[in-house]
Amino acid sequence: MNKKLVAVGAISLLSLSILVGCSTGKTPTDSKVDDNKQVEQNPSEQQTGITDITKKIEIVSDVTVLPKEVQDSISQMSKEKGYTFFELENNEYVVAIASGEKDSGGYDIKVEKAEEKTGIVEITVKETAPDKDAVVTEVITYPVTVFKIKDMTAAFEVKNTEGETFDYILIDQQVIPNEQETSEEIQAKEDKSN
């Protein structure tokens, strides 16, 4: 009886190993077919040299997680319509895009898409305004969107969905408050330099 049980077990193991060996896993030929399918799915990307990198963008909803100098620079630049960027460690960039000063709340700016074209990162943003009938805060606002992007070139171009190009805003590093300086001391330095 034990011999029959051992024989059945051995036959079962042998059958199982044969089935596993004959599985329908990918062969090197199958892999090439899959690679070709991927190429066929994205022919425009290969022909035009445009790569959609929107998924590589990490929106920064809380700028307080950024270095203080970057926070201060974003606050300074957001008063104008345009963009600026900062290089962090490990080939990572923080990009800030601002709509400029608005006379009320309800305005917004968001990244629609980002593409890399021949070494340039092209960013398209959508600017929105409040409806005419909307109840909004009666205060001056500065809509800005901030995101991180890694392993990209430091050449950026920004435009809105209407095709309007945003200018690069060069940040005056002298205006960024230092931890030891008060705002009065900074203002005095600016007055001396003017």
> SS3 of 14, please?
helix
In whole angstroms, give the CA distance from residue 2 to residue 91: 67
The predicted model scores a pTM of 0.64
Q: Each residue's pLDDT tens digit in the chain (194 positions)? A: 545 444 444 444 334 333 334 434 443 333 333 333 333 334 444 556 788 888 888 999 999 999 999 999 999 999 999 999 998 888 889 999 999 999 999 999 999 999 998 889 999 999 999 998 999 899 999 999 999 998 887 889 999 999 999 999 998 643 333 343 445 555 666 666 65
Where are the strands (E) in the chain, listed by range?
Answer: 50-52, 58-59, 81-87, 92-99, 108-117, 120-128, 144-150, 156-160, 165-166
pLDDT (0 to 100) of residue 16: 36
Q: Which of 60, 85, 104 is nearest to 152 (CA)?
A: 85
In whole angstroms, give the CA distance from residue 188 to residue 194: 10
pLDDT (0 to 100) of residue 8: 41
First-residue to last-residue Cα distance in the chain: 104
